[in-house]
Structure 1
Amino acid sequence: MLAVAAVMAVWLAWRFWQERQYRRRPYVDPAYLDWPQHEPDPALTPVHRVALLGDPGAVATDGTDPILNLLESWQNQTGPAGTVVILGDNVYPIGLPATHHPGRGAAEARFNTLLDVLGRFQGRVVLLSGNHDWHKGRPDGWEYLRRQETYVHEYLPTAHYLPAGGTPGPVTLQLTEGVLLVVMNTQWWVQRGARPTGNSKEAFRQLREVLAANRHQRVVVAGHHPLYSNALHGGKFTAKQHVFPLTTVHKRAYVPLPIIGSLLPLYRKLVGAAEDMSHPRYRKMRRRMLRVLQEFPNVIYAAGHDHNLQYFHHRAGHYLVSGSGSKTAFVQKGGRATFVHEQKGFFSLDFYESGDTWLRTLEPAVAGSLAPAAEVFRLRLHPAPVSSPVSTSLLASFARHVG
């Protein structure tokens, strides 16, 4: 036991030292370190822009929220040729409670603050639902979801709340010529208790049909749950969480449980809570979704759920996690990720008439500022990611070999 404890202590110390080197710093895959040298032609204007903002449910209500100020700045620059997609978890901690619930006042204040900013936008607004909007996935979550949807329709009638009634989807929305948004209600697959009638296999069959019929367009598929993640819901934990596992539930719960504490991360990685990628319901949904998406190159899949910014380019598909709308949490560098950052912010997709699509990372400079921070990552997604020195040299080597 002493030997096991010593090995664990050394491993945790090593992990902690590693994490200290990159926590809260942007990570970019070495193959894309030349990204600052590439940018869209400043003389061209996007024909449409899409802001992808997830998990804004804990925004400040006093007008100082850095993300809402940044979003409003983006909205003012974009004008009517744009769409804001809110990727779920719109109200923390349990969605929108009934009017007699003691948490209703605080929930309304936060939600109204978000809706007021969205209401000043000249473009289109789309809201999805996440597990917190479904009462954290509890059996009465469908009731919470329908209450929130009704509230949005009354408070902001021009907004789209999709898919309607908590159905699984897919639902399509033509954003502009050549750009299509497809919305999936991923919470439907992992929800416990009552949910609207639907057929899991039929939903994916319809998604396949939609993507097949729109190969000529640039397609963004939006859902709350990520399909790839280097963060909590993907089974990644900090060294601190192995020693103080209760901090995953409450950030100040510093109850030391060394060795025993490692069982919780192990459980979350292998078995998973209902909102984790390893949970059987989530795993099944993810596997089927990927099976469909991987048939159609260059589809962009955008999600929230994990409270950070992540981009993966895998099997010709683009996978985004844009869930740091009001909170941040640990994200591990490397793996399949091209870019990760433990920072508040959101991704923007800029679509050009030429067929180019640029991914931009937008982060606030300081609290309350209307200006963005210096850009930490951008990439051309369509027609293909910009060649890096690594990929270029590999192609040249292959060409010489063939020649």
Structure 2
Amino acid sequence: MVYSYIFYFLLSVCFGFLIAYLIERRYRRQPYFKFLADNQLADLPDLPKPIHSVALLGDPGSISDAENDPILILMRKWMEKNGTDGTLLILGDNIYPTGLPPFSGYKREQAEHRIMAQLQTFKQHQGQVIYLSGNHDWNKGRSNGLQYVLEQQEFIRKELNCANSYLPLDGCPGPVSMPLAPGLQLIVINTQWWVQKGVRPIGKNYNCTVDSEEQFFLELSRLLHQHRNDCIVLAAHHPLFSNAQHGGRSTVKQHFFPLTAAHKKLYVPLPVAGSVYPVYRKYFGAYEDMAHPRYRRLRKKLLRLLHQHNNIIYAAGHDHNLQYFPVRGNHYLVSGSGSKTAFVKKGGKAVFTHEHKGFFVVDFYSNNEVWLRVLEPTALLGQSHEVIFQRKIIGT
């Protein structure tokens, strides 16, 4: 009798997983729009030219083909359209899997090949190109990660021949601020600093502008107040909202077939035991997850500060998808599908999500209107329009 109850329980669990999987499969890789008005298909050349455009490209570290990569092809179109009036921000995880090793060998050669695939395109841009660092650039957060970041910083600054092409400098936490156009301000922070193991540069001995965590937040608060009448793009690697893995979301497949995370062909059903790891990622977290104590503390402090202001565009990568969250007068982006894609759950606070390669752009116009758009490669969409999402986020 007991065994029959166990059997029927496991059978019902498996059936429940199957139904959930079929429902999830229906919307995976389909764009989600909370409001149909945001679904405005357009061609990039037909958009009105802004005073300044900011392209937000996250996690491009697996790109290896400079000529034929669909993201780089689309980026060249954006570069041609905006020229000197365009700023390209690369939001970290620039070289997979572990950044740029500070020693010779095949891993160094592979890493140089990957970053050069990007730089061959970005060197052609007439406007600013600014790289941020992500967890993979810090040797996946290992204790010797600073060596990798400094090596990458030197390499990119030399190739782009620009001192401000890698920010914040020297692995410092920031913040770094610069104007992009009248009424448009960029602030860059190094969120990996907060979760990094080993050496975390801070203070004058490391050429950093702040001496403590407290001073970092005081300086960031000062900058936000100083530019309170401007549109502020606050760029980082780690998102503050996410419906994807780093935000504690997982697929039904990850619960039912957890071993596929180690190898894509290990379809061994573990319907109950398999949920242990996803639950751990959601409520406790690896160091790169929002649930991790360091990440959670940073997120709490940043949100407390940002909630005191309006019209801030917080742009991040980290999760390999496209997400937009308008929360309490500010705009939170995940633009991390520069070279990889991964599951993202629809709904919640998100008004747009898509498991697809692409990137966000912020277009700033002379009448102080600011438009948020999503560009995706047409070769991957099976349609002729690069713009699949548009929303005016500032202006009447």
Q: Give TM-score scaled by structure 2 length.
A: 0.91
Q: 1:135 aligns with which of 136, 139, 147?
A: 139
Where in structure 1 are there 5+ consecutive unaligned residues? 385-403
| Aligned twin of 2:30 | 25
Distance 2:219 2:261 in 1: 37
Q: How does 1:164-243 map to 2 (within 5 A)?
A: 164-197=169-202, 198-243=211-256
| Aligned twin of 1:359 | 372
Q: CA deviation at 1:267?
A: 0.3
Q: CA deviation at 1:248?
A: 3.3
Assess, with a 3 A threshold, how the Cα gap between structure 1 residues 285 and 74 changes in structure 2: closer, same or farther: same
Is the Cα–Cα contact under 8 Å of residues 66 and 368 in structure 1 kept in the other structure?
no
Distance 2:353 2:380 in 1: 21
Distance 1:348 1:249 in 2: 34
Q: Could you list the per-position Cα deviations for residues 298-330 of structure 1 after superposition, in whole angstroms to 9, with x for gaps in the alignment?
A: 100000000000000011110000000000000
Distance 2:381 2:22 in 1: 33
| Aligned twin of 2:333 | 320
Q: How does 1:121-160 map to 2 (within 5 A)?
A: 121-158=125-162, 160=165
1:307 matched to 2:329? The reply is no
Assess, with a 3 A threshold, how the Cα gap between structure 1 residues 6 and 367 changes in structure 2: closer, same or farther: closer
Q: Could you list the per-position Cα deviations for residues 49-95 of structure 1 after superposition, in whole angstroms to 9, with x for gaps in the alignment?
A: 00000000001325210001111111011110110000000000000
Q: Could you list the per-position Cα deviations for residues 75-123 of structure 1 after superposition, in whole angstroms to 9, with x for gaps in the alignment?
A: 0111101100000000000000133233111111110010111110000
Is the Cα–Cα contact under 8 Å of residues 40 and 390 in structure 2 kept in the other structure?
no
Q: 1:14 aligns with which of 15, 19, 24?
A: 19
| Aligned twin of 1:383 | 395
Assess, with a 3 A threshold, how the Cα gap between structure 1 residues 118 and 62 changes in structure 2: closer, same or farther: closer
Q: Could you list the per-position Cα deviations for residues 360-392 of structure 1 after superposition, in whole angstroms to 9, with x for gaps in the alignment?
A: 1100011699x97343211001037xxxxxxxx
- SS in structure 1 of the partner of residue 198 of structure 2: coil
Q: 2:168 aligns with which of 158, 163, 178?
A: 163
Q: CA deviation at 1:43?
A: 8.9
Distance 2:320 2:30 in 1: 15
1:273 matched to 2:286? The reply is yes
Is the Cα–Cα contact under 8 Å of residues 64 and 367 in structure 1 kept in the other structure?
no
The letter of the residue matching 2:38 is W
360-369 or 306-315, larger mean C-alpha shift:
360-369
Is the Cα–Cα contact under 8 Å of residues 183 and 223 in structure 1 kept in the other structure?
yes
Q: Give TM-score scaled by structure 1 length.
A: 0.90
Q: Could you list the per-position Cα deviations for residues 154-176 of structure 1 after superposition, in whole angstroms to 9, with x for gaps in the alignment?
A: 11112520001111111001111
RMSD after superposition? 2.1
- SS in structure 2 of the partner of residue 376 of structure 1: strand
Q: CA deviation at 1:261?
A: 1.1
Q: CA deviation at 1:9?
A: 1.5
Where in structure 2 are there 5+ consecutive unaligned residues? 1-5, 203-210
Q: Could you list the per-position Cα deviations for residues 328-368 of structure 1 after superposition, in whole angstroms to 9, with x for gaps in the alignment?
A: 00000001100000000000110001010001110001169
Q: How does 1:44-83 map to 2 (within 5 A)?
A: 44-61=48-65, 63-83=67-87
Distance 1:357 1:43 in 2: 13
Is the Cα–Cα contact under 8 Å of residues 64 and 368 in structure 1 kept in the other structure?
no
Assess, with a 3 A threshold, how the Cα gap between structure 1 residues 178 and 103 changes in structure 2: closer, same or farther: same
Q: CA deviation at 1:44?
A: 5.0
Distance 2:264 2:181 in 1: 43
Q: How does 1:255-274 map to 2 (within 5 A)?
A: 255-274=268-287
Distance 2:384 2:119 in 1: 21
Assess, with a 3 A threshold, how the Cα gap between structure 1 residues 61 and 182 changes in structure 2: closer, same or farther: same
| Aligned twin of 1:373 | 385
1:87 matched to 2:88? The reply is no
Q: CA deviation at 1:236?
A: 0.7
| Aligned twin of 1:397 | none
Q: CA deviation at 1:202?
A: 1.6
Is the Cα–Cα contact under 8 Å of residues 233 and 275 in structure 1 kept in the other structure?
yes
The letter of the residue matching 1:35 is D
Distance 1:43 1:77 in 2: 10
The letter of the residue matching 1:22 is Y
Assess, with a 3 A threshold, how the Cα gap between structure 1 residues 349 and 251 changes in structure 2: closer, same or farther: farther
Sequence identity, in percent? 48
The letter of the residue matching 1:176 is A
Is the Cα–Cα contact under 8 Å of residues 359 and 381 in structure 1 kept in the other structure?
yes
Distance 1:253 1:95 in 2: 28
Distance 1:105 1:183 in 2: 29
Assess, with a 3 A threshold, how the Cα gap between structure 1 residues 142 and 366 changes in structure 2: closer, same or farther: same
| Aligned twin of 1:102 | 106
Is the Cα–Cα contact under 8 Å of residues 64 and 113 in structure 2 kept in the other structure?
no
Q: CA deviation at 1:239?
A: 0.7
Give the number of equivalent residue pairs.
Answer: 380
Q: CA deviation at 1:125?
A: 0.7
Is the Cα–Cα contact under 8 Å of residues 41 and 387 in structure 2 kept in the other structure?
no
Q: CA deviation at 1:254?
A: 3.6
Assess, with a 3 A threshold, how the Cα gap between structure 1 residues 262 and 45 changes in structure 2: closer, same or farther: same
| Aligned twin of 2:38 | 35
After the TM superposition, list the runs of 4 or more consecutive aligned residues in structure 1 that deviate by more than 6 angstroms: 37-40
Distance 1:368 1:72 in 2: 18
Assess, with a 3 A threshold, how the Cα gap between structure 1 residues 327 and 180 changes in structure 2: closer, same or farther: same
